[in-house]
Amino acid sequence: MNDIFLKPYNPKETEDKIYKTWEDGGFFNPDKNTNPEAKPFTIIMPPTNANGSLHAGHGLVMTIEDIMVRYKRMQGFKTLWLPGLDHAGFETQVVYEKKLEKEGRTRFDIEPKKLYEEIMDFTLINSSNIKSQIRKIGASCDWSREKFTLDDGIVKIVYKTFKKMFDDGLVYRGNRIVSWCPKHQTSFSDLEIEDEERVDKLYYLKYGPFIISTSRPETKFGDKYVVMHPADKRYSKYTNGQKIDLEWINGPITATVIKDEAIDMEFGTGVMTITPWHDLVDFGIAERHGLEKEQIIDEKGKLLPIAGEFAGQHISKARALIIEKLQTKGLVEKIDENYKHVVRTCYKCRTIIEPQIKNQWFVKMKPLAEKALEKINSNEIRYIPEHYKKITVHWLENIMDWNISRQIVWGIPIPAKICTVCGDGIVDLDNKEIKCKKCGGELRQDTDTFDTWFSSGQWPYASLGFPDSKDFKTFYPTDVMETAGDLVFFWVSRMIMLGLYNTGKIPFKTVYFHGMVLDAKGQKMSKSKGNVIDPMILTEKFGTDAFRIGMVIGNTPGTSLALAEDKIKAYKHFANKIWNIARFVLSNTEQYKGEKPELILGSDKIILDEFQSLIVGVTKDMDNFKFYLAAEKLYGYVWHTFADKIIEESKVKLQDSNASVVTSTQYMLRYILENSLKLLHPFMPFITEEIWSHMPHKETKLLIVTSWPK
RNA sequence: GGGCGAUUAGCUCAGUUGGUUAGAGCGCGUCAUUUACACUGACGAUGCCGAGGGUUCGAAUCCUUCAUCGCCCACCA
């Protein structure tokens, strides 16, 4: 018997060694599979944010994807799992800004080029850390094809897409309302905004003959349009366009009556004034009626000269003073103290978003969404779990144009020139535009960067080398996209739209959403709560195999998962059990020569028939993406049938005086061990590979490329 | 305001298309045993499957109403 089995299983001694054997042998590379008949199977790894360490969610991603990939590889597919790292634009910049803050610095004091270089260094350091952690989880991805979202080749593809969309009229530069965070000094797309319910005061103000209500009196300086519903009988004596002179915050003004159906007659008095520069609804009304728009608040949240005596004050301080002044002028009708409403905030810092009109780049989404809807509604893309399909359809049907300009340095620079006179933009990949085509004005380089999702939305084809590479032709469309449910709009839907736009094909056939990983009590993990579970500590403590199968069992797609240390510990016991099963079987079958004997009817025959149905059941679960079921079946079988019953009973049979009974039993034990190792391998790759290396009479030297049982 | 999901053992959750006595892990109880494995084994307890109504020979599963919780979306100042 092999010496190794004299000791209990030790993950620390085996895992790194085995991973190295796989990697050095090139087994992760699909080119290793030289069978010309082999069909491709592809998963593109969601590029990991290179701004920290692997968290528990990553652990789940790596585990589930590795399970799929190992399963398909064993089934003989030409299997590619392409790893990648994400510069993660704004996300990383925020992480880096926190670091700067600790050092007493701020990004606004650092020259952009220098800041970019600093963040690049930071990212590269994190990258190597992240990559070694991905290896630790056992991910059998093809490192020779690794990509980074800022690689030249990727950026080139993103630029070509941008140019193509500009030429097709799908990208435009527009003076439109954007969601502006006064703290981070950048605009966002609608998805980066978080709604928050707050209780504020609602002020009822006298505006000439009307009473208007507002929760933001500090925006009211420029309000010279008073709007009501055309069907509102209370105000039928006022006509559209009618001028009314009235006394306002800083003196007399002339207001204009506007009739618009956007007004809710039920709300307040049914009359409001509008601030088109700082409100999306108001902007819409102003656009419809061709009204003037005026900026009241600057990018840092301070009032502009239009506010008269209040100019230069921050809006947070000015509000009370303005109300005070209005009160002395007798213009405050009443104040509702408990006004419950929803405010839009920055998803990172919770600062209230200040809508601003800005000249930025937008993507026209309707035409892209329509194509995506066609494919989704005809079920060309399978959603797991299914209800994500409904959510996606609803979002796509109500999609708004996408602001892709970000005022941060960390990202892919937008390859465009901006007119210094009229603000118009032109895409310029070759740096040859000199004058504005609209007005002839001087051009300057656009200093903004792309929303990181604009580039990662192109990841499936960009990472494969679209359009001419062999890899793109072989592996696209990919088979499965596996990612977190909260990326359904941010990333998944955009990949579908951009993939269809650029390649004419869906980027993946199946999209699998895993749930969020929570702590043992079901609480969201967060640094501030101090309940973050580091997957590296769990693998260190219990072994990677225990961590992997513990993450999978009891985890259905889309449902969040409570990660308890005890659970992982339980599967460490399972690993030990497997080890001891192998130890028993191998030491009791040493004389067995590998031949297939006549089976003992009613005993070994029945046992093997039952095992056959386990193979069928597990394979079916794997094909249906029910990894939790497959793993649970294997766990139950290996422990409570194979170990507790079959092996216990075999102890008697192995002592039988009839040699054919002994041989039959030995054959059966070896057969079940060998094939159990195969079935378990996607879930617990290290221990199964280690035991495999001690198996006599096996079909391949390494388990990773042996065939899945039929 | 609209949409989606959940509710099953003390805890965390399975339960595929409706079909015997509703399952697993952890935890709990009794007993056994130095064994391939104490990271063990055998046995066991705990369930009005959120509530009401309906369809059916038969419902945890399908329909309906309600309750509670959670999530997502939304331009009522």
Report the alpha-carbon distance of residue A610 to residue A38 in Å, rounded: 30
Which ranges in A144-258 belong to alpha helices (H)?
A: 152-167
| Residue tagged 């990991």 (tokens) | A48
Span A640-692, pLDDT tens digits: 999 998 999 899 899 988 888 999 999 999 999 999 999 999 999 999 999 99
* CA torsion through residues A642, A645, A647, A649, sign: negative
Report the alpha-carbon distance of residue A312 to residue A314 in Å, rounded: 7
Report the alpha-carbon distance of residue A238 to residue A106 in Å, rounded: 53
Mean pLDDT within A339-349: 90
Nearest nucleotide to A10 (CA to C1') is: B39
Whether A526 has a pLDDT exceeding 80, the answer reads: no
Cβ(A261)–Cβ(A229) below 8 Å: yes
- Measured in residues, chain A has a length of 710
* Measured CA A520 to C1' B40 distance, in angstroms: 27
Report the alpha-carbon distance of residue A624 to residue A605 in Å, rounded: 29
Whether A482 has a pLDDT exceeding 80, the answer reads: yes
Which positions of strand B lie within 7 Å of protein CB atoms? 3-5, 12-16, 24-27, 36-37, 39-42, 72-77
Span A615-626, pLDDT tens digits: 988 998 899 898
The average confidence (pLDDT) of chain A is 92
**Percent of chain A, pLDDT > 90?**
75
Binning pLDDT at 50, 70 and 90, where does residue A68 land? Answer: very high
Span A154-206, pLDDT tens digits: 999 999 999 999 999 999 999 999 999 999 999 999 999 998 888 889 999 99
* Measured CA A621 to C1' B16 distance, in angstroms: 9
Report the alpha-carbon distance of residue A651 to residue A641 in Å, rounded: 14
Span A260-271, pLDDT tens digits: 988 988 888 999
Element (H, E) at A272: strand A271-273
* Measured CA A642 to C1' B57 distance, in angstroms: 40
H helices then E strands: how many in chain A?
A: 21, 26
Six token digits for residue A92? 């990383």
- What integer pLDDT is reported at residue A156 of this predicted model? 97
Nearest nucleotide to A219 (CA to C1') is: B77
* Measured CA A618 to C1' B58 distance, in angstroms: 30
Q: What is the DSSP string of A430-469?
A: SS---B-TTT--BEEE---EE-HHHHHTTHHHHTTTTTT-
**Bigger pLDDT: A709 vs A520:** A709
- What integer pLDDT is reported at residue A564 of this predicted model? 81
Report the alpha-carbon distance of residue A332 to residue A213 in Å, rounded: 10
- What integer pLDDT is reported at residue A4 of this predicted model? 61
- What integer pLDDT is reported at residue A596 of this predicted model? 84
Mean pLDDT within A578-598: 89
Binning pLDDT at 50, 70 and 90, where does residue A7 land? Answer: confident
Q: What is the DSSP string of A22-34?
A: HHHTTTTSGGG--
Amino acid symbol at A122: F
- What integer pLDDT is reported at residue A3 of this predicted model? 60
Mean pLDDT within A504-511: 96
Nearest nucleotide to A640 (CA to C1') is: B41
Span A71-95, pLDDT tens digits: 999 999 999 999 999 999 999 999 9
| Residue tagged 């608040």 (tokens) | A297
Assign A473 to helix, strand or coil: helix
* Measured CA A604 to C1' B21 distance, in angstroms: 29
Most confident option among A448-457, A520-529, A612-621, A644-653: A448-457
Question: What does DSSP say about strands A210-214 and A193-207: parallel, antiparallel, or unpaired?
Answer: antiparallel
Span A345-402, pLDDT tens digits: 999 998 999 999 999 999 999 999 999 999 998 889 999 888 888 889 989 988 999 9
- What integer pLDDT is reported at residue A338 of this predicted model? 86
Report the alpha-carbon distance of residue A462 to residue A336 in Å, rounded: 54
**Bigger pLDDT: A669 vs A600:** A669
Report the alpha-carbon distance of residue A407 to residue A187 in Å, rounded: 7
Nearest nucleotide to A546 (CA to C1') is: B39
- What integer pLDDT is reported at residue A273 of this predicted model? 95
Cβ(A56)–Cβ(A104) below 8 Å: no
The pair phi, psi for residue A668, each rounded to 5°, is -60, -45
A583 Cβ neighbours under 8 A, 6+ residues apart: A5
Task: Report the first-to-last Cα separation within chain A, whole angstroms.
Answer: 30
* Measured CA A395 to C1' B73 distance, in angstroms: 8
Whether A216 has a pLDDT exceeding 70, the answer reads: yes
Give the residue from A12, A295, A249 showing the smallest Cα distance to A136. A12
* Measured CA A629 to C1' B56 distance, in angstroms: 30
Nearest nucleotide to A341 (CA to C1') is: B76
Amino acid symbol at A604: D
A5 Cβ neighbours under 8 A, 6+ residues apart: A579, A582, A583, A586, A587, A694
- What integer pLDDT is reported at residue A523 of this predicted model? 76
- What integer pLDDT is reported at residue A525 of this predicted model? 80
Strands (E), A347-384: 354-363, 382-384
Residue nearest to nucleotide B27 (CA to C1'): A566
Which ranges in A42-151 belong to alpha helices (H)?
A: 56-74, 89-102, 112-136
Q: How far is CA A637 from CA A119, A335, A465, A570, in A?
A: 51, 69, 44, 16
A675 Cβ neighbours under 8 A, 6+ residues apart: A611, A615, A709
Nearest nucleotide to A646 (CA to C1') is: B36
- What integer pLDDT is reported at residue A490 of this predicted model? 92
Largest CA distance in chain A: 114
Mean pLDDT within A541-548: 92
A400 Cβ neighbours under 8 A, 6+ residues apart: A190, A365
| Residue tagged 């009791």 (tokens) | A588
